[in-house]
Structure 1
Amino acid sequence: MRIERLTLKNFRSFESRTFDLAPSFNVLIGDNGAGKTAVLDALAIGAGALFLGLDGASPPGIHGDDVRRVTHGLGEVPTLERLYPVKVTCEGIVDDDRIEWTRTLEGPKKHTTHGGSSNLAQLAGEWGEQVKAGQPITLPLLSYYGTGRLWLQRRERRSSSSDGARVLKPGSRLRGYRGCLDPTSNHKAFVSWFKTMELIQLQRGALETLESVRRSIVRCLRGWDTVLYDFRLGSLVARNPHTQLPFEMLSDGVRNILAMVGDIAYRAATLNPHLREEAALKTPGIVLIDELDLHLHPLWQREIVDDLRNVFPSIQFVATTHSPFIIQSLRAHELINLDDRNRESLPSRSIEDIAEAVMGVEVPQRSFRHQQMMDAARAYYEALEEAKGAKGPRLAELKQRLDELSAPFSDDVAYHAFLEMKRRAANLPGDDE
């Protein structure tokens, strides 16, 4: 399953917008408030229509906060109006067939409609019956990782010294969908699965599925050779030749990747147990990640896209980022710029060119303060030249302007002294008083 086109109408800040998605990786960039997370939320609503055909599954719907609002200023007090209908339309490939489906919110007291997604729901219903019959149907994986994922981990760490993992009893393959499109979901289900599989392996010997998940995690980590569940500590731990640390003591970046990659791999193994050690490689689906670069060092940012692409080659990823290093690692047609569609190509592989030509950062070779100082110096010289021939009120204005331009940089002694020297050399009337 993959989505090739997403069309939004009256969704959040989008009056009408269509996005074409690449089959492997898609990265959304744009200024804060441009709508990056809104696109991920819309994709979750669209992809979640799959659950309309599965027993016990609850698809995310369109809510009041998703409705686009416009402001009118007809009177002294502006009014705020909500615009309906709200539509999320997806076109894509599902079970080798090209289909289109829509989810709609018609009004303020309505619920998200299901009729426009009956074709996808019907397919999912057929899959559910095949699962019940024990047939080796390959199910698509869906998952959403929001920016609050590390905050939840910290809250769990403070509330208890144990990770709360329990031993899982046999259950349906469909539990691999449990909480998958909730961007605030935590990593407990994955840890419980890992703990259970470690126990089974102790009893029965090596498990291909567990080792496959372990390899998937390690391939995306930096500086760690393996991951295991330590029953003495009651915690998931990472190990290298020099040390072993429990999950809660790892850096934010390592915990972020470990929990996310582990969750994807465990869901693939749960949904498609017949694929055994190839579950990560052959499970299709859609994974949404808000701020892929969250707490990652630039060296890791440069590699994470290719790591995910290689470990989960059948998954379609849609992520947001503010990192030029992640943008640098993309291929053609994998970048979506919400600020300017004309800046979606990658004209150069250098970080400076990407920052300037794609992300709109002026003069990225220099700090913002350096640019401010250069601009202030240029304006200072212009005002100083004019002040040399000015008199009366205009001279007073220009002298005040000179003070205003130099004052913000008084902490830079050399810079400030140089401007003052230039001013004294100009010998402006009244400066020697």
Structure 2
Amino acid sequence: MLENITNKITGIFQGLSNKGAITEKDLDTTLREVRVALLEADVSLKVSKDLIKNIQEKALGQKVIENVQPGQQIIKIVSDELTEILGSQSSELNFKNKPSVFLMCGLQGAGKTTSIAKLAHYCQNTLNKTVSLVSTDLRRPAAIEQLRVLAQKNNIQFIEPSSEDVKDIVQTALNQSEKLLSDILIIDTSGRISTDEELLIELKTIYELAKPQENLLVLDSMMGQQALSVVEAFHQTAPLTGFILTRLDADPRGGVALSAKYQTGLPIRFFGSGENITDFEVFHPDRIASRILGMGDVVSLVEKAQKDFDNKEMENLQAQMMSGKFNMEGMLKQFLQMKKMGGMSGLMSYMPGVGKIKSMMENADFDEKIIDHQIAIIRSMTKQERSDPDILKASRKRRIASGSGRQVHEVNRLLKQFEQTKKMMKQAQKPGFANKIKNLLGGNQMPTIE
């Protein structure tokens, strides 16, 4: 997510750390490079110019704080300004009415229907709200069926359209959701193109009838600057209250995320971070700014871990590690939890120094499928073999390789990795281990300023 802009900006600031001092000329050169990186990431010209201007004004007027190196102060200013452009703080949903009505609109192919299911799942499982869904998309083949299936699959109430008239569908859904005592009614609208006058009129009709507390536009983050004209067309038809960005995980540039809030004044509420129903995150501007600057997003990682991990299971696993009783069963649980978190690449996207970590993984020719292969190998072991890998000799290794569909050398590689993991667990308990990891990920000191 946002790899291009993150890699370029972290590379630019890494250049500052290689200097013994930062002059005003160094600052000008650095900010010029930042501006180019922003424009290449599809950030609008206005946003790029204003961001650089604000950073320059604050950096030149900044007093040097004792014990804080000037390079670090500059990065702090950049982080603050990025956060301001992204929206300062996350925006809460409006739950004043019962049911609170959320209208969802967007272009064809933007991922609107899937985002509705993700939003409903989030509201039910994270916010503990009861949700009902209804579709008014009578144009796209199987659009209603798609939402129905997603609702049934995720235990979300689906209200069947009452007729072929969108007014009747909306009014019936409003009445029925009230009888069901739903906290939220989410209305799916037809996917449309901004120049389709007929469908825009239909959207306005639904908006005026439903009187929604939230009118959220689903935006494909890979649209680039075209997205801003789309926002304007929808906003004029039915006033929007915010955005949901889709495919941000697949967009290496991130220009829409940096431009949308600043140029429209509307907050980004959520973003899709994958294909699963749970790959849906609240948009925290400060955390996204931290990711762009290569400082990671450890808070979101912890929150994701708390949501996805079985606490009791993890406590038992941690106790095993600390006591030196870590075995193949524990390693299997680690792999399964990692898969649940989005695999190694999913985990690494939250970590500080992500660019350096990914580079190390690429240089090591790391393949995500290796984890699947290793899970298969461990599952081909007996209970005794998982508990005591030392008993694995040649004949057992051949049987395990055959049972998992892998090669014997892959079994040997897994066993070697297991021994290295055990060794690292012992080292992790020693003082200074955290500093070693920090140095590995490029924890350089920042330069001073003249």
Using the size of structure 1 for normalisation, the TM-score is 0.28
Higher Cα radius of gyration? 1
Q: Normalising by structure 2, what TM-score? A: 0.27
Answer 1 or 2: higher relative contact order, Cα 8 Å, separation at least 6: 2
Structure with the higher fraction of residues in helix conformation: 2
